[in-house]
Structure formats: C-alpha cells, structure tokens
Amino acid sequence: MDGSSRTAEHVALFRALETLRRDRRLFADPLAERMLPWRYRSVVALSRLPAVHRGLVRYLDERWPGGPRASAVVRTRLIDDHVTDAVADGAAQLVLLGAGFDNRAYRLRLPVGRFEVDHPATQATKRRRVPARLVADNAVRFVPADLAHDDLATALRGGGFDPDFPAVVVWEGVTNYLTATAVDATLCALAGLLAPGSRLVFTYVDRAVLDGTGAFAGADGWRQAVGRYGEPWTFGLDPAGLAGYLAERGLSLRDDRSTRDAAERYLAPLGRDEPTAAFYRVAVAEVPGAEGR
C-alpha cells in the first residue's frame, strides 16, 4: 500500500476513460492510466473495448448521478484552457500545487518552467508511476512539502521557482479537503509570493452543500461517497462572496463557473449529455499589478 488518495485515483480513472474515447473527447492524458493501481488498470484495459467503455461510463454516471466523472472531465479541460491562456498572456512558470496525479506538467507542451508541489509521500508515489525517462530529463521540478508544516514560499524558492516572473498556479481538487485556516494561509502565501499578473486556478465546492442551505441534485451521494473513502469535504466557499473573499487576501477574481457551466461550453457542442455538478466550481484569481496591491 502506498497511501494514495482514493479520490485522486478516481479522477485519474476518469481521465484515463476520457482518453480512451475514440471520438468527441475533450483531452488526451496518456499518463493517467499509469497513475492507477492494478485494480483500476485492469478496468481501463477492459474499457478499450467500446462496448465495455460505454457500459462503464453509464454505470458510473448512474451510480453517482451528482456527476463526479463528467465534472472531473470538464474541469480538466477548463483548467487546461485557463493554463494555456495564462501562458499566452505572459506566465513563464507553471506550478501544480497539491499535484497528486495531475499530468499537466507533461502533457501540456508549454514553454515554461514546471513545478510540482506535494506531500513527500504522495510525490514519491507519483514519481514511481511516471515513466523513468520523463523523471530523468528533469523538465519537471519536484518540490516536496507538507503544507501543514512547511512554508510554501520557502519550499518553492528552494525548488528553483523565481518569484520575479509571472506564473500560473493550479490548485485542483484540494480546497474542499482542507480547513478554512489552511486555505487562507495558502492564498495569502501565494498573493505575497507571486509576481503581479500571475494567476491561480483553483477548484472549490459551493458552501451551501456543506451547510445544508442549498439543494443540489446528487450532492449528498457524492459527499457521502468521499466520506466513506476517508476523505470528507471540510471546506466550501460562497460563489456570491468569492470576489470579496479573494480581495481580502490580496487577489482579484478573474473567472468563476461551475462544472455544469463548463459542460455547456465543452460537452453540449459535441452532443454529449452527461451529468455534471452545479456545486463544483473552477475559479481563476489574479495577483493585481503593483498599483492594485
């Protein structure tokens, strides 16, 4: 056993299944299958048969109607596009914060410095599963850090990150498992470290799912499932108050949309009608210029 996150493995499985689609797919992540334990790799192997693939996708969507599979797929594509846009606008560094089994540092061919920050144990698992030739070329710098105890800015600088150059930071699938204090500390650290114009792309769940003030189809089943895996949701944000929340921490809100919104953008034009969540969201924050700080 390597202590890998079950939810992280599920997202990797969803990405591997999307990669196997023969048409109308949103992205290709050839490394996703390698991130999986053997029990899931066997599922992916069987899913190379179109009929098995269709049946498995249908089973996953019917078992968890809240839409975790398709939500993971559209959020992946949406974040890819946010990263690409940030680089086009001048970002010179890509940081995957709490990288888990995110393979963007390898599959997005971008002319930037690339960093993966994660807990040492999780990072060790990732490095074992990434092909040795990719690790050996040192294109991606691994920054081991336990953010419950280590200072993020110190860890990144020690790993070669240059705060004088704009960056795009991806913090995907993490905030909903943290405490409010931990989220606050990370946002403040990034606001103080990153150069003006840098962007942070992060996911979060609508707070109404956690406090019971909002009714979202399928939310309870999804939330109960992650709780059974020992990874309960512990933090959420109010979309209506997000701009103010970020401003208090030295960041400005650039974009915020749900995975259901993303499905309208990416799946609907392809004729793909798949369940996604209105309560799972992807936001982009930006570090203001010197005059706005």
Q: What does pLDDT average to in each consecutive run of 10 residues of the chain (293 residues)?
A: 75 97 95 93 95 96 92 98 98 96 93 94 89 78 88 94 98 95 95 97 96 84 88 96 98 98 98 96 92 53
Among 7, 27, 108, which Cα is nearest to 73's? 27
Exposure string over 3-23, b if 16+ CB within 10 A, otherwise e? ebbebbbbbbbbbbbbbbbee
**AA identity, residue 229:** Y
Separation of CA 43 from chain center: 23
How many alpha carbons fall within 13 Å on the CB side of residue 204?
A: 24
| Residues forming a β-bridge with 93 | 113, 167
> What pLDDT sits at residue 6?
84
CB of 189 closer than 8 Å to CB of 181: no
**110: which 2 tokens?**
């971008």
CB of 184 closer than 8 Å to CB of 246: no
116 vs 143: CA distance, rounded Å: 6
**7: which 2 tokens?**
């939810």
> What pLDDT sits at residue 57?
96
Helix runs in the chain, H state only: 6-20, 38-46, 50-63, 68-88, 104-107, 120-129, 132-136, 152-158, 180-193, 207-211, 219-228, 242-247, 259-266
Q: Which pTM does this prediction carry?
A: 0.95
